[in-house]
Amino acid sequence: MAKAAKTQVGSGSVSSTVSGPSTHEPPYIAKDNALPDELLKKFAGSDQLSSAFPHNQTKASEYGEAARCPHSGATAEAPHASVGASTVSEANTNEKTGQTPPAAGENRQKGELDSVRADSQGQVLTTNQGVALGDNQSSLKIGLRGPTAMEDFILREKLTHFDHERIPERVVHARGSAAHGYFENYQPLSEYTKATPFSEAGKQTPVFVRFSTVAGERGSSDTVRDVRGFAVKFYTDAGNWDLVGNNIPVFFIQDAMKFPDLVHAVKAEPHHAMPQASSAHDTFWDFVSLMPESTHMLLWQMSDRAIPRSYRMMQGFGVHTFRLVNENNQSVFCKFHWTPLAGTHALAWDEAVKICGADADFHRRDLWEAIEAGAYPEWELGLQIFTEAQAAEFEFDVLDATKLIPVELVPLLPVGKLVLNRNPDNFFAETEQVAFCTAHIIPGIDFSNDPLLQGRIHSYLDTQLTRLGGANFHEIPINAPLPPVHNNQRDGMHRQSIPRGRVAYEPNSLSGGCPFQAGMQGFTSFPETISEDKVRGKPEKFADHYSQASLFWISQSQVEKQHIINAFRFELTRVQVPAIRERVVSLLLNVDKTLASSVADGLGIELPAAAPLASDSKFPLLDASPALSVTHYPGDGSIKSKRIAILAANGVSGSSVNALYDAILAQGGVPRLLSCTLGKIETSEGDLLNAEATLETMPGVLFDAMAIADGERSVTRLASDAHTIEFLRDQYRHCKPILVPATASSLLARAGIETTLADGSQDTGLIVADAYAEGKATPAIEAFIAAAGKPRDHSRETDPPRV
């Protein structure tokens, strides 16, 4: 009889939140530290604990006479503490999350976050007032078949809390994911700022970072074309500082007065509430085509930056110009840049659309799984620092949020790194209730007069008052600062703290003058001298709507330019009103004639006249900036945390599966063994392997690369499943590495895939190999892993696609 082989197959399931082996056998990990030990314990222990409940043992006690005497609920003890944890990353502590691990069965409600975590292992059910519940299955009735009693306070409390457990979602950035971590400073920046995160080398500041899409509702998909929020809450020893930015360094508008109009235009159209989480509709393009200052942002929005591969692989920007202020009250201007160490990578549009259907939580899942597996995302923080005198000499206005400062003009100064190493314990309590606000700054950081930033300072705070129930949202644990809060604010909804004493005013003598002003040791606004008329309008340099859009265009690779053209073509094709399409193309004519002509050709329209300029001033022609292309950020070349599919069926060569699986796992990748059905796979050597997922459950768009295991019978079985052909085609069309044995060449033919490119040259991302050797990676496997570590090679791409 065939036996289950002792292999590492199944280890990929430990690092995943989708599917898993079809048996209870825990995976075997041959290589030390390939996966976190606690993650292995949690994976195996969860199944062990669940197996202790083959059925609901107390179900029968809910009926008839037995219901008159409630039975105690069935319990089982978890084999490991990690089984009951929300996340195995809880061992990564800091000043904000708390320094001690949570105790099983304890509910403490004081102090840092660890003191308000609740764990129910080994505890009886209670009401919100702490009263033990004898029966949580049935409401209180007058007789078993009679009406429900109004006095059932347990039912009322449970239903009332349920009815009110949803809070208003954010108007924008509603769909988000977050993680805890820290910022580590490289060197003191006392020359520029007294902000405490930058005060000394090696200083670590706890952070909570939330990534988000902008336009969609809370339940929308992750992979839509949209701006991504990149908001960082620094829990500094001087109070909370929120750097609330995006993954794109510029924005659509120049003044906060237009923000409601922009959001109303990009949201679903009000008469039929469509489309959800998409800018491809009339109202958005109608608005931006009448706002030429949006042109620069539109090119970014139609570029690959708007469909990132993951949150871990996108840049972040503070967008606005801020001030840095040092101890001598000297000020410089500053822009903030986050650069991912994994490189900046994007999805293909066709791929993003299919992922929307296959896994709407693609980015959320990716972030969670990487942190659970110990592949902690990292970014480097770089600052562009410049004086007001320098800013006055620039050919653009640094207060204009539709403009960026090329790094060739003001280089980036690397100042520290951001590491995310702990998942939230509870999505609602942390990710949903966290409140970011551009008004949250600390001594050493100050604002500029950017009119969009000035409006955000008001708007974000006002939003939290509505979303989080009142002025005390700062007392929600995830929002609470590290330093103690001392002020004379009182009362309000959901007040948590209980102030001592009789004094709630300042100045006072009855409390000895306390709390007292900090003077120059506290926050003081930079004394900027202003002598101007009160006026509504914009500076002259704000009228340059196209020079930086042209800069972005000429800085893109040919592939990226084609993607921008394709995106405009797709979005504007979905617009119903021809005049709106023509108006957009008229804007693009002021950027680049080739761009405008290509978009017009794709729409089947004549090239209109260029849109009139908003000023007669001569604006600059800028040289290309390589840093504006994603090709400038390839990453470190590793496959760490990348998902790699191995396709196999009955008759597969077990040695080829093991060789692939072990080689991928050894390099930090996440291999998954996929088959036509979930269950045992018989190998040609007479062993059994566990399929971890199916081709139906996890299609090709969810993986960064794929390999087909060797074995003629296995290949024949895979060929009979159309999912295999679809899997191959998607991987090929989206320019991902593919490894196949020579025996699978017929599969390539069925999928219409050739080993050469359209120009006749060899496709280096498609590797056809002899049988794979067990125990030692063959050159073919090594070449496959190397290809999977690089940015995707777009040399396969044709428009329209060949496959």
The two beta strands, 687-690 and 3-4, are: parallel
498: left (phi over 0), alpha (psi -120 to 50) or beta: beta
Q: Which long-range contacts (CB under 8 A, 24 or more apart) does 455-461 make?
A: 455/255, 455/256, 455/257, 455/259, 456/244, 456/256, 458/256, 459/256, 459/259, 460/244, 460/436, 461/437
Within 8 A by CB and 6+ apart from 682, the residues are 2, 650, 651, 688
As a 3-state breakdown, the chain gives helix, strand, coil percent values, each rounded to 5, of: 35, 15, 50
Pairwise CA distance, residues 6 & 661, whole Å: 13
Tell me the C-alpha distance between 173 and 163, whole Å: 24
The DSSP code for 419 is: E
DSSP assignment of 146-191 equals SPBPTT-HHHHHHHHHHHT-PPPPPSSS-SEEEEEEEEEE-S--TT
What is the C-alpha to C-alpha distance for residues 321 and 334, in angstroms, rounded to an integer?
A: 6
Nearest to 497 by CA among 509, 480, 511: 480
Other Cβ atoms closer than 10 A to 669: 24
The Cβ of residue 717 has, within 10 Å, a number of other Cβ atoms equal to 19
DSSP 311-366: GGG--EE--S-EEEE-TT--EEEEEEEEEETT---B--HHHHHHHHHH-TTHHHHH
The rounded distance, in Å, linking the Cα atoms of 190 and 192 is 5
Laid out side by side, the sheet with 3-4 consists of 3-4, 687-690, 680-682
- Concerning whether 246 is annotated as a catalytic residue, the answer is yes
d(CA 98, CA 111): 9
| CA separation for the pair 802, 798 (Å, rounded) | 6
Structure tokens at 718: 């895979």
Active-site pick, 94, 185, 240, 246:
246
DSSP state of 103: P
> Counting every residue, how long is the chain?
803
Q: Determine which one of 173, 320, 337, 545 is catalytic.
A: 173
Dist CA 114 CA 100 (whole Å): 7
Q: Is 173 a catalytic residue?
A: yes
Cα distances (angstroms) measured from residue 770 to each of 95, 258, 685, 743: 54, 62, 18, 8
Q: Tell me which H or E stretch contains 417.
A: strand 413-422
C-alpha span between 368 and 801 (Å, rounded)? 33
Q: 230 with 317: CB under 8 angstroms?
A: yes
- What whole-number distance in Å separates Cα of residue 185 and Cα of residue 207? 13
Residues 708, 739: contact at Cβ < 8 Å?
yes
Identity of the residue numbered 624: A
CA distance 438 to 401: 15
Residues labelled catalytic: 173, 246
